[in-house]
Amino acid sequence: MSANALRQVVIVGGGTAGWMAAAGLARVFGSLLDITLVESEEIGTVGVGEATIPQIQLYNRLLGIDEDAFVRATRGSFKLGIVFDGWGAPGERYIHAFGEPGTPLGGLPFHHYWLRDRLARGERGAPDLWAYSLNAEAAFAGRFGRSPTGGFGPLGEMPYAFHFDAHLYAKFLRAYAERLGVKRIEGKVLDVTLGEPDGRVVSLRLDHDRELHGELFVDCSGFRGLLIEQALRTGYEDWSTHLPADRAGAVPCARVEPLTPWTKATADAAGWRWRIPLQHRTGNGYVFCSRFISEDEATARLLSQLDGEALGDPRPLRFVTGKRRRIWNRNVVALGLASGFMEPLESTSIHLVQSCLDKLIQYFPDRDFADAPRDRFNAEADAEYVAIRDFLVLHYTATRRDDTPFWRHCRDALPQPETLKARMELWRRAGRLPVESHDLFKPNSWLQVLVGQGIEAEGYSPLANRLEAARLSMWLADVRGLVARAREQLPDHAAFITASCRAEAA
Ligand SMILES: Cc1cc2nc3c(=O)[nH]c(=O)nc-3n(C[C@H](O)[C@H](O)[C@H](O)COP(=O)(O)OP(=O)(O)OC[C@H]3O[C@@H](n4cnc5c(N)ncnc54)[C@H](O)[C@@H]3O)c2cc1C
């Protein structure tokens, strides 16, 4: 090992981000690193963050964990997409399903054929986009299976993610990380010592007169950003002009039937409500903009629309949408809420922990903390954050709602970033959906949200005209048939869990 190799890693915080970092680093670096995590039970964790996207399977694979054991331990359920209720207009509903609707033909993405059919037959005459999506059809039928097509045939895989209990997830990862030798310290960080001349963090002063030294510090201390902001004054890019929600209330309620394999996001007077079904309870919350509704009113709206008995009082949360100016500053890398937060509409926050952790592993520093890897890390993380931001803004601005001052504000006054405007222009003219290397959300996601929110494409790729009209109709009918047959082969979601990963106490 090189004399310059870094050895001591200190992680501050034991929420989802802290334990994901600890487990991931311990798994990848093994005995090359000494990892210590400090957390405070008295301070606690944010306690939300229970819906994920399919990329989490990459993290699970990195850890090499058994999926059934993980779902059982976290009392989780499976997720095939997010249902958006009332976003385009009141009463409308669509799903952002994982996976691609249809299948490409002759090198051309499916949606161009679908657009041709729709423009020829009209919106009412043509089957909707989701009749071609196995994820969507299975979700609405309440069904779930791991690989209904065995990964073969034109439908490919059925991508899925998880809902889980955030506390149980951190506990699960903690047990994993401790087995791999991560040391945990229970205690509060009271002060941070910076060294000369470069202002790196040298050590942390803990309660009970303890001192903790390290070389690389991973700040997973949540919104407070104990190291990245309070100690290093990194600065924050405030994105609330684009993403106006700034508060949330969260409350669990009793589980009701059926156990839906999707997260639900329902547009409401001054924001939206989430619903996350777990084996033992349902997670609920109201994300809102405090300029348009009081906390009391938001809480009342949340409680009045639960579909089961409330299991506690709603917990208020405050945030400013945006990100740190540098997610990696000096010898501190911020992960999770310490790095920024863009609101939970598309369940992206846990993914960003994972993807920044992945970048950290890729650009892992040595003791001299050279600029180049850090700059590259920051550039890639920034690009990913910005692309996600644009995708979220689309949901708010592409609306026809005008029933409340909040929605009128979103529709008429919320500025769209230039990058988003450029994408929408490409879509409107000829159904083009560009993809950048840093995009988390691929064309199939943009497609579903654009169509779901009522943004019409006026044209499609001329290549879709290569197929004769009668053959196009037959082929589209075949794809719909395949989807419907595959859906019928899937078990009921709750029955699948009972058979494979039911939690004992659930
Ligand atoms: C309303 C809301 C809904 C969300 N929903 C989703 C979702 O559905 N999907 C998703 O992917 N993400 C979601 N998120 C984000 C998700 O909750 C977080 O990304 C995730 O939980 C990680 O949080 P964290 O570990 O960064 O912070 P926290 O959970 O806040 O953990 C911070 C840790 O730092 C410790 N700490 C703080 N100060 C000190 C100190 N002085 N000394 C010692 N320890 C200290 C705390 O004890 C704690 O262990 C949501 C967030 C919010 C606010």
Cβ-Cβ contacts under 8 Å for 136 (sequence gap 6 or more): 80, 81, 95, 97, 101, 130
> pLDDT under 70 in the chain at which residues?
1, 148-156, 505-506
Q: What pLDDT is stored for residue 3 in this prediction?
A: 85
Which class for 417: exposed (0-12), middle (13-18), buried (19 or more C-beta within 10 A)? middle
Which of these is catalytic: 79, 264, 323, 359?
Answer: 79
Exposed, middle or buried by CB within 10 Å (0-12, 13-18, 19+), for 15? buried
Three-class HEC string of 185-197? EECCEEEEEECCC
Q: What is the largest CA-CA distance in the chain?
A: 79
Q: Ligand 1 pocket, 17 CB below 6 A?
A: yes
**pLDDT, tens digit (0-9, with 9 covering 90-100), for 125-152:** 899 999 999 999 999 999 999 876 655 5
The SS3 assignment for 213 reads strand
- Asked if residue 188 has its Cβ within 6 Å of ligand 1, the reply is yes
Q: Per this entry, what is the length of the chain?
A: 506
* Under 8 Å between Cβ of 250 and 220: no
What pLDDT score was predicted for residue 1?
64
Report CA(369)–ligand 1 centroid distance (Å).
27
pLDDT given at position 31: 97
Catalytic (active site) residue 79: yes
Residue 147 has what pLDDT? 73
Distance of CA 497 to the CA centre of its chain: 23
Residue 2: per-residue pLDDT: 81
Nearest Cα neighbor of 183 from 37, 328, 39, 319 is 37
CA distances from 459 to 107, 111, 444 (A): 18, 11, 17
- In angstroms, rounded to a whole number, what is the distance separating the alpha carbons of residues 210 and 221? 18
Which one of 82, 221, 243, 315 would you pick to mutate in the ligand 1 pocket, going by the greatest count of ligand atoms within 8 A of its CB? Answer: 221
Taken in order of first residue, the domains within the chain and their CATH numbers are 8-50+165-238+322-369 (3.50.50.60), 83-156+399-493 (no CATH), 247-318 (no CATH)
Number of the ligand 1 atom closest to the C-alpha atom of 50: 8
pLDDT of residue 504: 87
Peptide bond preceding 197 in cis form (omega within 30 of 0) = yes
CB contact at 8 A, 333 and 10: no
